[in-house]
Amino acid sequence: MIKRNTGFSNLTAGYLFPEVARRRREYAAGHPDAKIISLGIGNTTEPLSPHIAKAMSDYALALSTPEGYSGYGDEQGNSALRSKIAEVFYPRMADASEIFISDGAKCDIARIQTLFGSKVKVAVQDPAYPVYVDGSVVAGAAGKNNGNGYEGISYLPCTPENEFFPDLSKIEKNTLIYFCSPNNPTGATATKEQLKKLVDFANENGCIIIYDAAYFAFIRDKNLPKTIYEIPGAKTCAIEVNSFSKPAGFTGVRLGWSVVPNELKFEDGSSVNRDWNRVMTTLFNGASNIAQAGGLAALDEQGLKDMTAQVDYYLENGRLIKNVLEGENFRSAGVVAYFTGNGPYVWAKFPGKASWDIFDKILDECHVVTTPGSGFGPAGESFIRFSSFGHRADIEEACKRLSLLKL
Amino acid sequence: MIKRNTGFSNLTAGYLFPEVARRRREYAAGHPDAKIISLGIGNTTEPLSPHIAKAMSDYALALSTPEGYSGYGDEQGNSALRSKIAEVFYPRMADASEIFISDGAKCDIARIQTLFGSKVKVAVQDPAYPVYVDGSVVAGAAGKNNGNGYEGISYLPCTPENEFFPDLSKIEKNTLIYFCSPNNPTGATATKEQLKKLVDFANENGCIIIYDAAYFAFIRDKNLPKTIYEIPGAKTCAIEVNSFSKPAGFTGVRLGWSVVPNELKFEDGSSVNRDWNRVMTTLFNGASNIAQAGGLAALDEQGLKDMTAQVDYYLENGRLIKNVLEGENFRSAGVVAYFTGNGPYVWAKFPGKASWDIFDKILDECHVVTTPGSGFGPAGESFIRFSSFGHRADIEEACKRLSLLKL
C-alpha cells in the first residue's frame, strides 16, 4: 500500500478555523436558544458593491452568447486585469508581467510552497496566519511539532514588547520569511522604517520575503506603506501576495493576485518569476473569468470608491470593539486591546489566562465567537483576536454583551 | 540565496500547450493573412446554456443584497452541490462526504501530488495529459528527464497494438497510477472488463488509481462505464477527478470535483479522505460561489439536457474530423485515425513522421493548429491529436483544408 505523506502525519490538531467552527456548533447544539454572534473568522459580511456585482452578473449572462463566451483564459490571468492591477496598486513599482491572478491569497500561499520545495528554511512571525506554517509542514519543509512549534521553522515573536516587529537577528541566512502587514492576527502595520530594515536584511542575507498584503486596503495612515515595493530594494527579495477578498468582499467569489518581480533570483541566478509562471500554467488553470470581470470593475473609479466605503465600515466596527475592550470590566482585569485603525483585527491580551479558556468563556457568557490567539502560534497565548467583519447591528449587540462580561 | 527547487530544474521544455500557442503566435506574426483555425487545445467554444448562465448571473447580482450575499463557504464545497453530484453521478456509489468541489480537474491533480508527497512511485499511461508527469516532477516524485521520459516514472504504452490499454504487469507494487478515460489524448474509453482488471490489479498490489474522468460526458455507449465506481472494489483503490469544464463549457468559469472514498486507506490504515479534507481546507479556499451556483443549475433537469446537447455538438465535430482523416490523401500516406464516438479527440497516426513535423506542416499548409502526439509522452510520437472543440463552421472549413493536405 501507499505510505502516508509524512507532511500530513506531522500536522497536529485541526486547522484553527474548523476547530473554532466545531466548538461553535457544539455550543449551539447544547444551547439552542443562544443567539450566537461571530467575531471569529475574518469573513466579510456586507453585500457586494452593486457596481461590481452587476459587472459579474452581466459577464455571466453574456457567456451564453457567441460574442460573450470565453473558454480557457491565460492561466496567469486576463491581461487587462494584470495591467490594471499594476497601474492602480503598483505605479512605477511593478508591471503586468510581474502580476499573476489567482483564486485567492491562501491558495497562492500553498502554491508558493510548491515553488520553494521541501529543502527551504522557513521563518514566520509569531503569531501568524496558520497557513504559512501548515503549508510548510505539508511541503516537507518542517518536521514534527515538539509542543512549542514545528522543528525547522523559526518562530519570530511579535508582541507588544517589541512593537510587533520581530528581532531579525534571529533569522538564518537564505530563509524564506513570511511577513504579513497589516498583520493577521495582531493588526500591527509595519512602518516604512520597519519594512526597510526587513528588506535590507533580506537582501544582505539571501532571504526571500513572502509579503502577505491581503489587508492593505485597511491602511488609512498615509505614512504607512501599502505595498512592500514602496521600499527600495524590495524587488530583489520579495514576493507580494494579495487579494480582493477583504476590500471587495470577494471571500466567496475568490480572486487574488501575487507579484513576482522579474529581478527576483534563485541562488543559481535563474528567475523566480519564470518558475512561478510554470507553477501557474502547469498546476493551476486561471481564476474564474466571472470573478476576473468583477476584479476589473472593482478597479475602475466607482469600484475603488465602493471598496473604500466597504473597508471604512469594517474599520468603524473595529473602533467599536476596541472601545468596549477598554471598558472597566476589561481594564480591571488588566486586559489591553490593540487596534491600529489600519487593519481589520482587534488583538487583546488577557494576562495570565489561556486563549482557549477565554474563547470558551466569551462564547459561554456572551454567545460571541472569537479566535484564540494561541491558534496563531506560541506567542499568541493569552491573546484573543476580535474580527471587525460583521453587520453593524451584530457588532453593537456583541459589544453590549462584552461590556457585561465578568472577568 | 535560496536554492531553486530541483523539481523545477528537472522539468524540461515548456508545458505543451504554451509551446503550441507560441508556435501559433509566431506563425501568425509571419503570416498575417492566414486565417488560423485551432483544433489544438481542448478548449470549449460554444456559449453556455442560457439556463446555467442565468443561474450564475442571478447569483452574482444577488451578492449585492443582504439576503443574497455570502462570504467564505465550506472549503470542500457547497453541501447542496456535493449532495447533488453524489445523487446524479454516483447513485449507490458515493455520498456527499466523499465529494469535494474544486476549481477544476487540473488544479485537483496538482493538489493530489501534495497529498502523496515526493516518495511515491508514479505510473502514467503513455501518451498522457502532461500535468500528471509535470506535477509529479515538481513534487519531487520523479528525477531528471533522460530523453525518454523522467526517471522514477513508469510509462505504460497505450497504442493501437494493445488497444490503448496498458500492460499492468509492468507496474510495481504500491504505485500511484494515473489513468484517464475517455482518454486524453487517444480518445480511448476503457470497457468495464478493462477497468475491472485495473481495479483488481490495484487492490492486489497496494496501488492507488487517480482516475481522470473529465471527459465522462462524451460516453454514449451504454455499456461503457462513466465512473470507475461502477466497478466493484474501486472504492478501496481509486480517487476520481472530474470537471464541469467540458460538459458545461466551464473551462473559463472553473468548476470541478474529486471523489475520495471513505474506504481508501494509506499503508498505516489512516484515511486518505481525511488528509484530502485537510488539503482542501488548508491549501484551498473553495471554488467560486458563483461557479458553484452554475454547477447546481447544470445538474437540474434543464441543465442536464443542455449539457447533453452541447456534448453531442462536439461529438458531431469529431465525426467530421474523423471522416476527413479517412480521405484518400491521408489513407495513401498510411494515416490511421482513431475516434470512438465516446470522447472529444481524434487521434491519428502518421507512420514514419515526427509529430512536431506534422504539426508544423498542417499549420503551414492548412493554417490549422493541432497538438503533436509526442507532447503527451514517448509513445505519442508520430501521432497528432485533433480536438473536436470548435464552432461547426470552423470545423467544416478546417476539414476542407485538411482534405487538400499533401502528405
Q: What is the reported pLDDT for B13?
A: 64
Nearest-by-Cβ selection for A290 from B7, B60, B285: B60
CA distance B350 to B352: 6
- Give the ipTM of the model, two decimals please: 0.96
Reported as a single tens digit per residue, the pLDDT across A21-59 is 899 999 999 999 999 999 998 899 999 999 999 999 999
Question: Cβ contacts of residue B169 below 8 Å, gap of 6+?
Answer: none
All three cell numbers of B17, joined, read 500547450
Contact B254 A68 (CB under 8 A): no
What CATH superfamily is the domain B6-48+304-402? Aspartate Aminotransferase, domain 1 (3.90.1150.10)
For position A14, what pLDDT does the model report? 61
Closest CA to B137 of B9, B242, B250, B228: B9
Flag whether pLDDT at B128 surpasses 90. Answer: yes
Please say whether the dihedral angle defined by the alpha carbons of residues A223, A228, A230 and A232, taken in this order, is positive or negative: positive
Determine the distance in angstroms separating the CA of A5 from the nearest CA of chain B, rounded to an integer: 5
- pLDDT reported for residue B12: 76
| B74 CB-contact burial (10 Å; exposed 0-12 / middle 13-18 / buried 19+) | middle
For the stretch A289-337, pLDDT in tens is 999 999 999 999 999 999 999 999 999 999 999 999 999 999 999 999 9
**Set of chain A residues whose Cβ sits within 8 Å of the Cβ of B6:** 117
Q: What is the pLDDT of residues B83-126, one digit of tens each?
A: 999 999 999 999 999 999 999 999 999 999 989 989 999 999 99
CB contact under 8 A, B4 and A290: no
List the binding residues of B for pyridoxal 5'-phosphate: 72, 105-106, 129, 184, 215, 243-245, 254, 285
Q: B342-375 pLDDT, tens per residue?
A: 999 999 999 999 999 999 999 999 999 999 999 9
- Kindly report the number of other CB atoms within 10 A of residue A305's CB atom: 12
With a CB cutoff of 8 Å and minimum separation 6, the contacts of B214 are: B105, B180, B184, B241, B242, B243, B245, B246, B256
Alpha-carbon distances, residue B91 vs B76, B84, B230, B296, B351 (angstroms): 20, 10, 10, 17, 44
Binary contact (B208, A2; C-beta < 8 A): yes
Q: What is the chain A residue with the closest CA to B122? A: A2
The pLDDT score that the predictor gives to residue A307 is 98
- Report the side by side order of strands in the sheet with B383-387: B336-338, B345-349, B383-387, B371-372
What's chain B's average pLDDT? 96
Closest CA to A199 of A233, A224, A174: A233
Q: Which of B8, B41, B150, B171 to mutate to test the interface with A (most CBs of A within 10 A)?
A: B8
Nearest CA in chain A to B135: A283
Report whether B258 contacts B102 (CB < 8 A): yes
Distance CA B115, CA A208 (A): 26
Full DSSP string of A204-245: HHT-EEEEE-TTGGG---TTS-SSGGGSTTGGGTEEEEEESH
Please give the average per-residue pLDDT across A74-86, as a whole number.
96
Which residues in chain A have their CB less than 8 angstroms from residue B102's CB? none
Contact list in B for residue A54 (CB cut-off 8 A) is 61, 64
pLDDT band at B147 (very low <50, low <70, confident <90, very high): confident
Residue spans of the domains in chain B: they are 6-48+304-402, 51-302
Q: Tell me chain A's radius of gyration from C-alpha atoms.
A: 21
Strands B345-349 and B383-387: antiparallel
A328/chain B closest Cα distance in angstroms: 34
Cα–Cα distance for residue pair B27/A279, rounded to 1 Å? 26
Query: Are A286 and B252 inside 8 Å of each other by CB?
Result: yes
Q: Answer whether B355's CB lies under 8 Å from B347's CB.
A: no
Among the partner residues A66, A69, A131, nearest to B282 by beta-carbon distance: A131
**In this complex, how many residue pairs, one in chain A and one in chain B, have their CB atoms less than 8 Å apart?**
275
Substitution target in A45, A69, A114, A203 with the highest count of B β-carbons within 10 Å is A114
Q: Is A270 annotated as a binding residue?
A: no
Which secondary-structure segment (H or E) carries A363? helix A355-366
Q: Which set of grid coordinates corresponds to residue A40?
A: 471569529
| Torsional sign, CA A55, A56, A57, A58 | positive
Question: Which of the four pLDDT bands, split at 50, 70 and 90, describes residue A215?
Answer: very high
pLDDT of residue A105: 97
CA-nearest residue of chain A to B57?
A57
* Subunit contact A285:B106, Cβ cutoff 8 A: yes
- State yes or no: A106 annotated in a binding site: yes
The DSSP result for B48-88, as a single string, is: PPHHHHHHHHHHHHHTTSTTT------TT--HHHHHHHHHH
Contacts of residue A68 in chain B, CB cutoff 8 Å? 47
In this structure, what C-alpha cell is assigned to residue B72? 467564505
Cβ-nearest to A69 among B47, B175, B278: B47
Contact B192, B352 (CB under 8 A): no
On the 0-12 / 13-18 / 19+ scale of CB atoms within 10 A, B161 is: exposed
Based on its alpha-carbon atoms, the radius of gyration of chain B, rounded to whole angstroms, reads 21
Residues of A in contact with B174 (CB under 8 A): 1-3
Amino acid occupying residue B253: V
% of chain B with per-residue pLDDT over 90: 92
Mind giving me the DSSP string for B138-162?
A: HTTSS--B-SSSBTTEEEEE--GGG
> Looking at residues A11-17, what average pLDDT do you find?
74
Give the three cell numbers for residue A144.
514534527
Q: Check: CATH 3.40.718.10 for B51-302?
A: no
Q: Is pLDDT of B264 > 90?
A: yes
Where helices occur in B70-225 by DSSP H, the ranges are: 79-89, 105-116, 130-138, 192-205
Residue A117: name the closest of B152, B114, B132, B111 by CA. Answer: B114
Distance of CA A11 to the CA centre of its chain: 20
With CB atoms and an 8 Å threshold, state whether B117 touches A7: yes
Digit-coded pLDDT (tens) for A138-162: 999 999 998 788 999 999 999 999 9
CA distance A45 to chain B (A): 6
**Interface-testing mutation among B254, B273, B292, with chain A (most A C-beta atoms within 10 A):** B254
B64 and A46: CB-CB below 8 Å? no
Nearest residue, CB atoms, A252 vs list B54, B283, B289? B289
Contacts of B172 in chain A (CB under 8 A): none
B214-254 pLDDT, tens digit per residue, is 999 999 999 999 999 999 999 999 999 999 999 999 999 99
We find that the CATH architecture of domain A51-300 is 3-Layer(aba) Sandwich (3.40)
Decide if B321 contacts B346 (C-beta within 8 A): yes
CA–CA distances in Å: residue B358 to residues B29, B183, B324, B378, B379: 20, 22, 16, 16, 16
pLDDT of residue B129: 94
Q: C-alpha grid cell for residue A352?
A: 495570565
DSSP lists the bridge partners of residue B176 as B122, B208
For residue B27, give every residue at least 6 positions away whose Cβ sits within 8 Å of its Cβ, in sequence order, or none. B34, B36, B363, B364
Higher pLDDT, A9 or B61: B61
Question: Which of B57, B64, B208 has the CB atom closest to A61's CB atom?
Answer: B57
The average pLDDT across B45-54 equals: 98
Of B110, B130, B122, give the one whose Cα is nearest residue B377: B130
* Closest in B2, B15, B58 to A120, CB measured: B2
Which CATH number is A6-47+303-402's, of 3.40.50.2300, 3.90.1150.10, 2.30.180.10, 3.90.45.10? Answer: 3.90.1150.10
Which of B43, B65, B289 faces A72 most closely, judged by CB atoms? B43
Cβ separation A283–B43 shorter than 8 A: no
Least-confidence region, from A66-70, A131-135, B101-105: A131-135
Residues in chain B: 407
Average model confidence (pLDDT) across chain A: 96
If one counts every other C-beta atom within 10 angstroms of the C-beta of residue B65, the result is: 12
